[in-house]
């Protein structure tokens, strides 16, 4: 029997965001006959670990640097895959000093603040020499890495993917009504959803400004996600007279069902990599209004599967949302084309296969 390739993942977050979900789903789908995997969460415990426990995916919590190193060496990985900037910068040199050279880094996004800092760029570029491959999840990120001096042969473009079958399951009308009633959403309102952690980089404050322009229209907004900005956003919604229209749902595990009652999806981010939430909305047949940042334009075709606007432009955001609210047929057409695009260009199976192929190439070399 062929030797299984031992792959060790190190993660810097246990929240339930796009990066965390993609990494989990990948390990869930990886070929278990060809690969043996283990995960170190080099961070406090969190909700995503319940998913790993349920699927019996091997992982450990951080026990301090020396014990973490002993654990890694005990596993004797053929490949180490790093997720998150903090983890990448901490472990790249350490792994080289431990004699582990088959190290892969993944860059899901450029910043969590909306501004790419000078030292963030420099430290990333300086330590990238300790990586065999740097996975970029969008063409925009791949181009950014090249512009910053990384050699083209080190960069591996692997788009995030989504399982369309999980999301393209329309709810029966009765179940839609029941879910809306449970949430307190008026049955006749147009439902706008935004799935994103409540952090400045996600631009929720600009969504609230846009909604205040439209507040005379009949809509309800589902803000799905956790984060430190929640209290501020709740307060700002009330100040704008939107407290009866905006529903803060926190973190949810029923995203497919919530997207099934959604008419318009909005992501007003200041910076992105390849947002999983947009993929999930498109896989649900929902038109998207998003800011033209990062790899979003590689997903959303402006005027075809949704609308793109510059970041921090609430007036334009409101304009595009209004167009979709006024035109049900346009919503259906854009939603259908978005689903077709996800199925043809961003299948989850393609992402898994390309990552497995990368692991095999590194192992054989």
CA–CA dist 143, 236 (Å, integer): 37
Q: Which two tokens stand for residue 52?
A: 């790993």
Please list the pLDDT of the chain residue by residue as tens digits (365 residues).
578 999 999 999 998 888 898 999 999 999 999 999 999 999 999 989 999 999 999 999 999 999 999 999 999 999 999 998 889 999 999 999 999 999 999 977 665 445 556 677 788 888 999 999 999 999 988 998 888 888 889 999 999 999 988 898 777 778 999 999 999 999 999 999 999 999 999 999 999 999 999 999 999 999 999 999 999 999 999 999 999 999 999 999 899 999 999 999 999 999 998 999 999 999 999 999 999 998 999 999 999 999 999 999 999 999 999 999 999 999 999 999 999 999 999 999 999 999 999 999 999 98
CA–CA dist 130, 123 (Å, integer): 12
Predicted TM-score (pTM) of the model is 0.89
Listed in sequence order, the DSSP H helices in the chain are 18-29, 48-55, 65-75, 85-97, 118-127, 139-147, 164-167, 173-183, 204-213, 230-239, 255-260, 276-283, 296-299, 314-325, 328-345, 348-364
Contact predicate 206/317, CB 8 Å: yes
Nearest to 314 by CA among 246, 241, 213: 213
Q: Cβ atoms within 10 A of the Cβ of 162, count?
A: 26
Nearest to 243 by CA among 253, 230, 255, 234: 234
Cβ neighbours of residue 275 under 8 Å, at least 6 residues apart? Answer: 18, 196, 267, 269, 290, 294, 295, 296, 299
Q: Domains in the chain and their CATH numbers?
A: 5-161+347-364 (3.40.50.2000), 164-345 (3.40.50.2000)
CA–CA dist 339, 168 (Å, integer): 8
For tokens 């800092």, the residue is 117
Cβ neighbours of residue 349 under 8 Å, at least 6 residues apart? Answer: 29, 161
Question: 48-55 and 18-29 helices cross at what angle (nearest 10)?
Answer: 10
């Amino acid at each position: 029997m062929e030797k299984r390739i031992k792959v060790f993942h190190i993660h810097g977050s246990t929240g339930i965001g796009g990066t965390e979900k993609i990494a989990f789903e990948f390990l869930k789908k990886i070929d278990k006959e060809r690969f043996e995997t283990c995960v170190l969460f080099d961070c406090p415990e969190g909700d995503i670990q319940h998913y790993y426990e349920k699927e019996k995916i091997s992982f450990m919590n951080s026990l301090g640097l020396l014990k973490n190193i002993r654990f890694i060496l005990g596993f004797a990985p053929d490949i180490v895959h790093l997720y998150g900037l903090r983890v990448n910068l901490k472990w790249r040199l350490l792994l080289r000093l431990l004699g582990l050279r088959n190290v892969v880094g993944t860059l899901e996004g450029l910043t969590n603040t909306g501004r790419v800092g000078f030292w963030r760029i420099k430290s990333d570029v300086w330590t990238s020499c300790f990586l065999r491959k740097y996975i970029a999840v969008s063409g925009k990120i791949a181009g950014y890495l090249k512009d910053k001096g990384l050699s083209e042969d080190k960069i591996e473009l692997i788009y995030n993917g989504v399982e369309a079958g999980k999301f393209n399951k329309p709810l029966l009308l009765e179940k839609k009504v029941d879910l809306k009633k449970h949430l307190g959403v008026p049955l006749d309102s147009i439902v706008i959803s935004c799935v994103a952690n409540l952090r400045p980089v996600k631009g929720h404050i600009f969504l609230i400004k846009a909604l205040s322009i439209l507040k005379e229209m009949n809509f309800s907004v589902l803000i799905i996600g956790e984060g430190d900005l929640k209290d501020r956003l709740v307060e700002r919604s009330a100040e704008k007279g939107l407290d009866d229209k905006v529903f803060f749902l926190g973190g949810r595990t029923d995203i497919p069902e919530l997207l099934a009652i959604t008419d318009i999806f909005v992501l007003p981010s200041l910076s992105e990599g390849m947002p999983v939430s947009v993929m999930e909305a498109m896989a649900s047949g929902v038109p998207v209004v998003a800011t033209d940042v990062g790899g979003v334009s590689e997903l959303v075709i402006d005027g075809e599967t949704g609308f793109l606007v510059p970041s921090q432009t609430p007036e334009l955001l409101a304009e595009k949302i209004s167009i979709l609210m006024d035109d049900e047929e346009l919503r259906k057409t854009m939603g259908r084309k978005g689903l077709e695009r996800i199925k043809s260009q961003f299948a989850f199976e393609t992402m898994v296969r390309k990552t497995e192929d990368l692991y095999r190439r590194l192992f054989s070399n």
